Amino acid sequence: MRQSFFCKKINMKCTLCGREKFNIVKKRIRDSHVHSVVTCKKCGLVQLSPRPSLKKEQEFYDKNLQSKNILSPTDIKTITLNSLHDTNRRADFVGKHCNKKSHILDIGSGDGLFLKEMEGRGYNITGLEVSKERRETSKKVAKAKVLDINLLKDQPPADFKKFDGVTLIHVLEHIIDPVLFLQNIAKNFLKKDGSIIIEVPNLDDLLVVENKQYDAFYWQRGHVFYFNKKTLTQVVKKGGFLIKSFEYVQRYGLENFMHWQVKGKPQIDKPTFQIEGEYKWLEDYYKSYLCKIGKSDTMIIVIKP
């Protein structure tokens, strides 16, 4: 069970239920001396404290500080190689829910790797990215148009054409008001019969509980919210959405787990997502078991208005 500490007063309201009483989950996070992580005493939503302003968030992502703060690779060749397994997995998943006639919007399109993969598979895809630095990188990677729209404050043009599907790949946990964010997508960007595909980290990840070094690494300034199945479901339902499907996914492989257990640090330069060869059966069992018990590192939910 995740340890929590009593917190007398946090000067903010829970974005989900509006309550002002919290417990502290993490007094310090890896890349900020002024933030902690708290959980709402009523609904259980885990969130960053203090919650950043919209202006602070724009500055944070314009400078690509999430990657720089954790010393992630910034050269596009390394990023492409490190992301290959995830990129293909996500493209396969979206392909099961959207046909090639669909017009797809990838919100938080980052460096454009997913856009490029979907283009190569014949999909009509557009990106949306608030980070100035990442938009510039995306222009060099993919041909797809990338919009500069902040969904919490900007309105699309009057003649804007809505999309059949929207993808939010590790985006919702970064948004300071996820309910309003989803509602604005449904109102301004998504066709009435369209779907939103959301992939987020799973707060109930077994490694967070079992490995102290990973627990210290896990909490970061870039993540405003930390969802498990219960709170993610609460957020999408409060936004007025119906759930089409939900599943657990284990992104990182057994080698990554052992690396944390033995060395106590992340595989920043070359993360392991999948072991092939004679030990693939063990890898498959490891991942399927974590998904079965709800302790995987990732969740995917598909919703519609």
What pLDDT shows up at residue 67?
74
Same domain, residue pair 143 and 242: yes
Distance CA 230, CA 224 (A): 17
Q: Pick the last residue of a domain from 51, 72, 93.
A: 51
Distance CA 22, CA 41 (A): 5
Same domain, residue pair 5 and 121: no
Task: Of 189, 194, 186, give the one whose Cα is nearest residue 165.
Answer: 194
Same domain, residue pair 102 and 161: yes
Same domain, residue pair 82 and 218: yes
What pLDDT shows up at residue 60?
87
Distance CA 250, CA 292 (A): 10
What pLDDT shows up at residue 65?
77
User: What phi and psi values does residue 234 have, to the nearest 5 degrees?
Assistant: -60, -40
DSSP 210-273: H-HHHHHHH--TT-SEE--HHHHHHHHHHTTPEEEEEEEE--S-HHHHHHHHHH-S---SS---
What pLDDT shows up at residue 77?
87
Q: Pick the last residue of a domain from 51, 67, 83.
A: 51
Distance CA 117, CA 86 (A): 11
Same domain, residue pair 45 and 58: no
Contact 289, 197 (CB under 8 A): no
What pLDDT shows up at residue 71?
61
What is the spatial order of strands in the sheet that 103-107 belongs to?
146-147, 124-128, 103-107, 163-169, 190-201, 298-304, 242-249
pTM above 0.85, yes or no: yes
Contact 132, 111 (CB under 8 A): no
Handedness of CA 283, 285, 289, 292 (dihedral sign): positive
Residue 38: which domain range? 1-51
pLDDT per residue of the chain (305 residues) written in tens, 0 to 9: 455 544 446 789 999 999 999 999 999 999 999 999 999 999 999 999 999 999 999 888 887 777 777 666 668 888 888 899 999 999 999 999 999 999 999 999 999 999 999 999 999 999 999 999 899 999 999 999 999 999 999 988 877 899 999 999 999 999 999 999 999 999 999 999 999 999 999 999 999 999 999 999 999 999 999 999 999 999 999 999 999 999 999 999 999 999 999 999 998 888 889 888 898 999 999 999 999 999 999 999 999 99
Same domain, residue pair 64 and 199: yes
Alpha carbon distance, N-terminus to C-terminus of the chain: 34
User: What phi and psi values does residue 204 have, to the nearest 5 degrees?
Assistant: -85, 15
What pLDDT shows up at residue 277?
87
Is there a domain that residue 286 lies in? no
Extract the tokens encoding 246: 């939900």
Same domain, residue pair 115 and 185: yes
Is there a domain that residue 181 lies in? yes
* CATH number assigned to the domain comprising residue 170: 3.40.50.150
Same domain, residue pair 178 and 87: yes
